[in-house]
């Protein structure tokens, strides 16, 4: 249960960051290799879709961790957690090698924390 809460909290920080980026905050150095200080319009729409997925994944980890009641079958929730853990593992590696120092240090830390939490919750 603790790992589910930590994972959800970590993802919630990323959700807040995503909302700020969608609203045009100059935080682009934290994402996509720091290519843009302010994300262009097309990327904001993509980020909006990603934001919806991030919210979904917070719900999934909380369900799998027993923090909230299941909305989906237990096996489906477990599989989604494993898939997300695999994705986050790759994402952590990508962040660790980003050209942007801010992305390397801040986002890698958040991603690694979420990765560990998703693996622990998925395999428990």
C-beta separation of 115 from 89 below 8 A: yes
DSSP, residue by residue, 23-53: TT-S-GGGSGGG--SS--HHHHHHHHHHHHH
pLDDT confidence band for 48 (50 / 70 / 90): confident
As for how many domains the chain has, the answer is 1
Q: Which of 30-39, 78-87, 106-115 has the lowest mean pLDDT?
A: 30-39
Using alpha carbons only, how large is the chain's radius of gyration in Å? Answer: 15
Q: Residue range 106-110: average pLDDT?
A: 91
Does the predicted model carry a pTM greater than 0.95? no
* pLDDT interval class at 78 (50, 70, 90): very high
Round to whole Å and give the CA distance between 52 and 103.
21
Domain that holds residue 92: 2-123
């Amino acid at each position: 249960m603790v790992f589910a809460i930590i994972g959800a909290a970590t993802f919630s920080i990323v959700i807040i960051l995503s909302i700020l980026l969608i609203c045009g905050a100059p935080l682009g150095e934290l994402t996509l290799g720091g290519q843009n200080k302010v994300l262009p319009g097309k990327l904001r729409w993509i980020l909006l879709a990603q934001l919806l997925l991030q919210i979904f994944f917070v719900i999934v980890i909380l369900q799998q961790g027993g923090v909230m009641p299941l909305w989906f079958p237990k096996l489906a929730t477990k599989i989604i957690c494993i898939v997300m853990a695999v994705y986050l593992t790759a994402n952590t590696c990508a962040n660790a090698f980003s050209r942007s120092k801010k992305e390397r240090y801040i986002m890698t830390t958040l991603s690694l924390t979420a990765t560990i939490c998703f693996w622990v919750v998925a395999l428990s």
